[in-house]
Amino acid sequence: MFNRIMTPVDLAHVDKLERALDCAADLAKHYGLPITYVGVTSSAPGALGHNPKEFSQKLQSFVDGEIDKRGIEATAHTAMANDPATEIDNALIHAIDDTGADLVVMASHLPGAVEYIWPSNGGKIAQHAKCSVMLVRP
């Protein structure tokens, strides 16, 4: 059915991703698929790393924890953006191609009035991705 799942993760808000992480792991186990967890960073120092290498190490540590916790096959992929806050959607869409994912499983918040003007990250990915996208609500 699918060959690879991509799951975006925001390392600053992992506590809000549990339902999406559970869903991705369940699908991975059910279909025997690997997951690629994608984090987006910039070359500028930030709270999650002084440089992309340090960010990548933190992302890999997260992925290692998911492998141990969930018993899945998984890899880490660091996507780069000049300004992750404004370019995250495009970085994730490029990461779909970079990782070879044919299913994206990602967390999304409940829609509100703002989403009628600006789509959510999940909404934009679902509109523009060339693969299937599953948005997981809290």
pLDDT digits (tens, 9 = 90+) for 21-41: 999 999 999 999 999 999 999
Residue 31 pLDDT: 96
Q: How many residues does the chain have?
A: 138
User: Where do we find the tokens 């709270």?
Assistant: 47
Please say whether the beta carbons of 91 and 81 come within 8 A.
Answer: yes
CATH number 3.40.50.620 is the correct assignment for the domain at 5-136 = yes
Q: Which residues of the chain have pLDDT under 50?
A: none
Residue 122 pLDDT: 83
Residue 90 pLDDT: 96
Residue 46 pLDDT: 86
